[in-house]
Structure 1
Amino acid sequence: MSVTPLASVPATRPAPAFRGRIGQDARSGHYAVPRRYRLHLSPTCPDGLRIAVAHSLLGLDDVCPVTSLGVVPDCPDGGHSALRPLYEASVHRYTGAAVGPVLSDDWSGRIVSTHAPDITRDLSRHFGGGTTALYPRGAESEIEAVERLCARGIEQAAQRAGTAGVGPGERDAALAELLETLGALERWLVGREFLIREQVTGADVDLWVTLVQLDTVHRHHLDAAAVHRIADHPLLWAYARRLAAHPAFGGHLDLDGIARRHHSRCRGLEAAGSAVQILDWATHTAQVH
């Protein structure tokens, strides 16, 4: 798998409501001060899980505290009532959904960012300082390419392959794209423990969460034959299993919560693939919970 050509793949996640950044000095508006910022997240949300894993890898419990959100959003619009005061303090007469994850500024009581990639990068760059460099110098383009690959080649492809009401040709094309992406990752992982460096990086966090979603959410809308083909990538799923055994990864995996969140939001039809679990996540994470 070559990460360089992937730089041309367009980003697919929706534009976030807030894109403030933590900077080095006062001119940025949000300069780096320990215990100034707070995370509001639920690990049952994919972006919340990404941030939670990164936060643990960086050891930031004392530097940037976490306020846990409910497993399932409690507002009809998909937002969290606990976040409503932050949104209303940040935008006059805010009428949208108060969604997580959120990085807030305890000094002002306002939101800094709701954009997960920016949040993890800023936490790593300005508060990491330890042995774990999630965004090592020179690796940014590779990590961004992996993020785009996960979003388009796995998340969106799996979503399209499991969407009811679309033609078989479109579903087959989406499944082919998904399998092509998984095959490229399988070949890339030959002889590798991690994705792009000799230690865990942000690319591993993003891919691992994407694989969790593929097995715990997307497969429920695929047929059994498709799920068996997805599972037929032993190096890739062994990689996911190894990371699940790491406390920073598996320690945040709430399988029951993910299922509850999925069922509360999903209006799709369950397919035969629902009965074909790829990994026994509970067993692999039992020792880290």
Structure 2
Amino acid sequence: MPQLVDGKWETGDVAASEMKNGAFHREPTRFHNWVTADGTPGPDGQPALPAEAGRYHLFVAFICPWASRTLLMRNLKGLQDIISVSVAEPELGENGWTYAEPQDAGPRVAKIRYQHELYTASDPHYTGKVSVPVLWDRKEGRIVNNESADIIRILNKAFNHLTGNRLDFYPETLRREIDRWNAPIYEKVNNGVYRAGFAKTQSAYEEAVTSLFDMLDTIEAHLSQSRYIAGVHFTEVDIRLFVTLIRFDCAYHGAFKCNLRRLEDYPNLSNYLREIYQWPGIRDTVRIDQIKRGYYSLVHINPTKIVPLGPVLDLDQPHDRARLSGQGVVTL
């Protein structure tokens, strides 16, 4: 997979660090600064910038589940007029994530067409993978953060004083439970589908798929008694899980060979998926056509790049989740 090497874009399979003994290992993100209401340090002491309307920009792609997390949080927190967005093309070409038209990155940086230009503007000698999402500072012309787990927590809290939005997707009273679920969901589901799809040995593939479906079985049983993952409230762990589930039957099941079962074969998971999809503001972040086109364009996965016509998904059909008690989102 192409990447930056000392600030230069290199094509070819140079990202060998992501493969170990035929198994896929995700490269850690590198930019971890924060945004807070007044610019005081982040929750773990990270350097932070002050929240300002129009200063920050999200660079995303509809195909990418990590980027979709940030789009969901932006909509749910009512930040559409506070944080602008650029959406990359779904197909990854020789230049990586690409924008159909030049994108305005602010007064200090020339318009960009390729995601890697944001990385070299931030670090001229950057070496590593170039990914979406990116939370970008238009004022200073640099990346604030490129870790989706960080970005959704920034969006959850930093801009509340500008919007008056009091919804809290990471409330203190539920953090222990949210974090308890986040860890295995990331390892076995969010990243697990990639470990299956990008595996280069049979054993690595089988380990990833087995772990993935064991976890889906666990979540299915849990959702038989719990409206949402952390209980009666919809939280960030539901957002983090949803972005993988929405891609499962239309992409991971076929393109990544995650085909022991369909998501539709799980009654609780499939109804849970439909409930979240139907929440106000969430369906607007989902583009099934782009998701399919993007994953099936990965040549090392699908050399012909033929995009299947199916499956036909009816995400608007009724769900049964109201049978379980739920209280929506915690408010501050």
The aligned residue for residue 43 of structure 1 is 62
Q: Is the 8 A contact 1:132 1:200 kept in 2?
A: no
Which has the larger strand fraction?
2
- 1:106 corresponds, among 130, 134, 138, to 138
Q: What runs of 5+ residues in structure 1 fail to find an aligned partner?
A: 1-11
- 1:236 corresponds, among 269, 287, 304, to 269
Q: Is the 8 A contact 1:23 1:30 kept in 2?
A: yes
The aligned residue for residue 185 of structure 2 is 150
Provide the aligned length of Structure 1 versus Structure 2. 266
Give the percent of matched residue pairs that are identical in Structure 1 and Structure 2: 25
Q: Is the 8 A contact 1:164 1:268 kept in 2?
A: no
User: After the TM superposition, which segments of 4 or more aligned residues of structure 1 sit over 6 Å from their partners?
Assistant: none
Distance 1:145 1:25 in 2: 30
SS at match of 1:40: strand
Return the offset for 1:131: 3.8
Return the offset for 1:243: 1.1
Q: Is the 8 A contact 2:228 2:234 kept in 1?
A: yes
Distance 1:15 1:176 in 2: 24
Return the offset for 1:16: 0.9
Which has the larger helix fraction?
1
Distance 1:181 1:36 in 2: 40
CA pair 188-72 structure 1, distance change in 2 beyond 3 A: same
The aligned residue for residue 148 of structure 2 is 116
- 2:284 corresponds, among 251, 258, 267, to 251
1:125 paired to 2:125: no
Q: Is the 8 A contact 1:244 1:281 kept in 2?
A: no
Return the offset for 1:219: 0.5
CA pair 47-171 structure 1, distance change in 2 beyond 3 A: closer
Distance 2:191 2:83 in 1: 32
The residue identity in structure 2 corresponding to 1:55 is R
Distance 1:165 1:186 in 2: 29
The aligned residue for residue 22 of structure 1 is 35
Return the offset for 1:87: 2.4
The residue identity in structure 2 corresponding to 1:263 is Y
The equivalences for 1:259-270 within 5 A come to 259-268=292-301
Q: Is the 8 A contact 1:150 1:207 kept in 2?
A: yes
1:131-166 deviation per Cα after TM superposition (whole angstroms, max 9, x unaligned):
421111132333333332222222444445556763
TM-score (norm 2): 0.70
Q: Is the 8 A contact 1:164 1:269 kept in 2?
A: no
Greater Cα offset, 56-65 or 188-197: 188-197
The aligned residue for residue 179 of structure 1 is 213
Q: Is the 8 A contact 1:155 1:214 kept in 2?
A: no
The aligned residue for residue 139 of structure 1 is 174
Distance 1:156 1:246 in 2: 25
Q: What runs of 5+ residues in structure 2 fail to find an aligned partner?
A: 1-24, 42-47, 99-112, 319-332
